[in-house]
Amino acid sequence: MPSTTHDDLDERIELLDSWVETRRQIACLEAEASSLLARRMRLGRADGDEHSHHRDSIYRSMIAEYSAAGRIAQGSIEYAFTDAAFLEKGHPHVQQAFRAGIVSAAHVREIVRAAGVVHEAVNNGRADADALQRYDVVAVTVAEKETPARTKALLTGAAAVLAGSTTTARHARAASERTVSVRPVGDGLAVLTAVLPDYLAAAVIDRLTQLARAVIAARADREPVLEPMDDGDSPLYPDDIAHDSASRDDHAIFGDGTFTTDPTTDPTTGPAAGPTVEQVPADTRTIDQVRADLLMDLLLAAEPSAENGSGLDNIRGRIHVTVAATTLSGCDDRPAELDGHGPLHPDVARDLAGRMPGWSRLFLDPTGLVVETDSYSPTEAMRRHLRARDQHCRFPGCRMPVHRCQIDHTFDHAKSGRTAIHNLAHLCAGHHALKHPDIADAHRWTAIQLPDGAIDWTSPLGRTYRDDAKRRVMFV
């Protein structure tokens, strides 16, 4: 393999720096565009106040014009206007970071939407006015280090704490909004949308993924199973029946009371090279296509079709839930945690626990970090600890849940790395491969796990990216 020269390395570093700077400039321009929408929103509201009978028409006209001018769907433009107005009204710290290009438009979208419960609590007098300011500071701190998806998950819990809103109340209110809808997207396709409780939605997509992987693992060219041609007691091809060669048809098969043409022989050309049995074509569907087909099977036929293989009915969706012992026993209604997704209604957690054959007890330190599990088997205890700590792949930004990840020795076991909590972490197959010793040094990543569970990843260019171990409780 050709070695990487010093000049090549400098070029790669320069390209990375240029890309990061370009993304920062894009964020700055997105912030400017958001400010323009906020200013237009103020003018629209002023027009609506002046002509109150036409307020709705004025608003719809504004949305339609920007949608047409920007060649953007009206729903997307409406969201952009709403986000811009909320950002300008109650999030000066986020707005400042946005204008500086520190956070992206995708981060701002998640920050503003997660803040909805805080705005509602302040407006209703359930939270102090400075709750929004505290949320603002937390939001920027999180968004500077995390992807938009992780930012959303972390800020959902922080917003609930600041709003003084209990998981029980919010989930009870949200449950009434569950729905299924469909809309056409053209070319014979439509989007089927199901708004479900998150623990059920997580289990649905997990089960579909397991089913799809089972189908893909078993698929291959298969010959059809042909029904017997003779329903009688005698075999179709008896070995002990002799026929007069002078009087028999060379292309006929005679049995006891049967007569048929040999399917492997063409009477006009003689014996064929082999059986002309039609084969089932290979299954070339992607995993997304298989998931979609299985969803239709499950909804329309109640179970996967026989062609998809055996054993699929035994696959169930998997989720991981952490709940306090006091909540499990009914002593309090503290929210449980749906690992990798966010808070879970305590009644749902208790119901799920009652359906399981057993569960693991976890011990938390004062900061909320899981430090020990109650088990006689040290190896399994470490696994349970790591599942509770990691929740997903520990590569920066990756959200692959732990049950689809591999437990990796951060410092290679073959080089005396210890099998201990501070040297183990979940990695998905793709990110695990990045640090595999078989990869050339010029392309291999390295990782160092710190005492608090954070992992510093160093790229082939020498850049370091940190993934922090998340606490179960966030104090703001």
**pLDDT range class, residue 376, cuts 50, 70, 90:** very low
Q: What pLDDT band is residue 341 in, cutting at 50, 70 and 90?
A: low
Q: For residue range 434-462, what is the model confidence (pLDDT) as tens digits? A: 888 888 887 889 999 998 889 999 988 88
Flag the least confident range among 81-90, 201-210, 364-373.
Answer: 364-373
How wide is the angle at C-alpha 146 spanned by C-alphas 114 and 365, nearest 5°? 85
The model's pLDDT over 17-58, given as tens digits with 9 standing for 90+, comes to: 999 999 999 999 999 999 999 999 999 999 888 888 888 888
Backbone φ, ψ for residue 362 (5° rounding): -115, 145
| pLDDT given for residue 359 in this prediction | 62
Q: How far apart are CA 114 and CA 150, in angstroms?
A: 12
Alpha-helical runs (H) found in 55-166:
55-70, 74-90, 92-99, 105-114, 116-123, 131-143, 148-163
Average pLDDT in the chain: 77
Distance of alpha carbon 433 from alpha carbon 435, whole angstroms? 5
- 194/202 Cα distance (integer angstroms): 12
Residue 195 has pLDDT above 70, yes or no: yes
Residue identified by tokens 């599990």 is 373
Query: What whole-number distance in Å separates Cα of residue 403 and Cα of residue 126?
Result: 39
Q: C-alpha 462: how far from its chain's center? A: 29
Task: List the single range of 233-247, 256-270, 405-419 with lowest mean pLDDT.
Answer: 233-247
Residue 401 tokens read as 């849940």
CA–CA separation, 287 and 294 (whole Å): 10
The Cα–Cα gap between 110 and 32 comes to 18
pLDDT at position 346 is 84
Mean pLDDT, residues 196-207 taken together: 84
What are 90's two structure tokens? 């109650």
Whether residue 105 has pLDDT greater than 90 = yes
Among 244-258, 273-287, 329-343, 373-387, the least confident range: 244-258
438 within 8 A of 446, measured Cβ to Cβ: no
Q: How far apart are the first and last CA of the chain?
A: 51
The residue ranking higher by pLDDT, 189 or 393, is: 393
Partners of 256 in beta bridges: none
The residues that bridge with 179 in the sheet, in sequence order, are 195
Higher pLDDT, 408 or 187: 408
Instruction: Collapse the DSSP code of 217 into the 3-class scheme (helix H, G, I; strand E, B; otherwise coil) and give the result.
Output: helix
- What pLDDT score does 237 carry? 45
Q: DSSP character for 316?
A: -
Report the 10 Å Cβ neighbour count for 404.
16
